[in-house]
């Protein structure tokens, strides 16, 4: 196992990481987008993005796009490269505010978090559409790990922390259990060549209705390209 440093809250760090990875001339068969923060107080990344949206979503958006060429070169007809993005059930209540993606008008930790997770689902569906249209041997799926007992909950109210501590053994998944659906999406033979799915407990599940809005997917993709400073090549694809 070899580690390369990458701070998903920093566009500069992401670009440096991709340069380091490309320099190794390694194939890339699986990319799992799993970094995230939850319910953090209102604050910005070094690039000026609201932290939930900047780290949870834009960081993965840029990373995936910068690695797409390598993924496409690594995938074959019989062994597709795979992109697995971790969202959350909170996306079902999320609202995408295209005119205020940085939550400047009204900040809510819950609203910002759920928006970032909805954005990841919209991104995955649009990405799969583009990959299919280009005939690429790469698939993109999004997973819901469930409620997992990790440090992700360190910003919740203390009363909730106590409740989690008391009931974790009964209601919360262990990190190993929480990772199972991501692993399933990454390596299962059943998912070979299958993309554009929302997975929960290793099963294909329907995501929020709004996530299937293709026009919203396109608009988010275009705006995301502007925010991270990459060209929107998808504009040439229906």
What CA–CA distance (Å, rounded) separates 188 from 236?
33
Determine whether domain 11-236 maps to CATH 3.50.50.60.
Answer: no
Tell me the catalytic residues. Answer: 113
One pLDDT digit (tens) per residue for the chain, 238 residues? 899 999 999 999 999 999 999 999 999 999 999 988 887 889 999 999 999 999 999 999 999 999 999 999 999 999 999 999 999 999 999 999 999 999 999 899 889 999 999 999 999 999 999 999 999 999 999 998 866 445 544 445 444 444 444 454 445 657 677 688 999 999 999 999 999 999 999 999 999 999 999 999 999 999 999 999 999 977 666 6
Against a cut of 0.75, is the pTM above it? yes
**Residue 35: its pLDDT value, please?**
85
Q: What's the confidence (pLDDT) of residue 173?
A: 57
* pLDDT confidence of residue 169: 41
CA–CA dist 12, 29 (Å, integer): 24
Give the distance from CA 208 to its chain's centroid. 16
Domain ranges, ordered by start, for the chain: 11-236
Q: Report the alpha-carbon angle 11-33-217, nearest 5.
A: 80
Q: Give the pLDDT score at 178.
A: 67
- Report the 3 state secondary structure along the chain: CCCCCCCCCCHHHHHHHHHHHHHCCCCCCEEEECCCCCCCCCCECCCCCEHHHHHHHHHHHHHHHHHHHHHHHHCCCCCCEEEEEECCHHHHHCCCCCCCCCCCCCCCHHHHHHHHHHHHHHHHHHHHHHHHHCCCCEEEEEEECCCECCHHHCCCCHHHHHHHHHHHHHHCECHHHHHHHHHHHHHCHHHCCCCCCEEECCEEECCCHHHHCHHHHHHHHHHHHHHHCCCCHHHHCC
């Amino acid at each position: 196992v070899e580690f390369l440093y990458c701070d998903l809250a920093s566009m500069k760090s992401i670009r440096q990481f991709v340069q380091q990875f490309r320099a190794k001339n390694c194939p890339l068969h699986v990319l799992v987008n799993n970094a995230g923060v939850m319910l953090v107080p209102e604050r910005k990344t070094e690039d000026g993005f609201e932290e939930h949206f900047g780290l949870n979503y834009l960081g993965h958006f840029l990373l995936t796009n910068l690695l797409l060429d390598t993924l496409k070169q690594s995938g074959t007809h019989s062994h597709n490269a795979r992109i697995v993005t971790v969202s959350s059930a909170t996306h079902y209540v999320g609202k995408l505010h295209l005119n205020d993606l940085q939550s400047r008008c009204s900040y809510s930790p819950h609203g910002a978090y759920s928006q970032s997770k909805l954005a990841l689902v919209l991104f995955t569906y649009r990405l799969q559409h583009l990959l299919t249209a280009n005939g690429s041997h790469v698939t993109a799926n999004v997973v819901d790990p469930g409620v997992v007992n990790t440090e992700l909950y360190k910003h919740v109210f203390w009363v909730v922390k106590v409740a989690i501590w008391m009931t974790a053994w009964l209601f919360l998944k262990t990190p190993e259990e929480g990772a199972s659906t991501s692993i399933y999406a990454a390596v299962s033979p059943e998912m070979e060549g299958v993309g554009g799915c929302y997975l929960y407990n290793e099963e294909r599940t329907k995501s929020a209705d709004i996530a299937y809005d293709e026009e919203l997917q396109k608009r988010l993709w275009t705006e995301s390209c502007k925010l991270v400073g990459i060209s929107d090549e998808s504009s040439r694809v229906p």
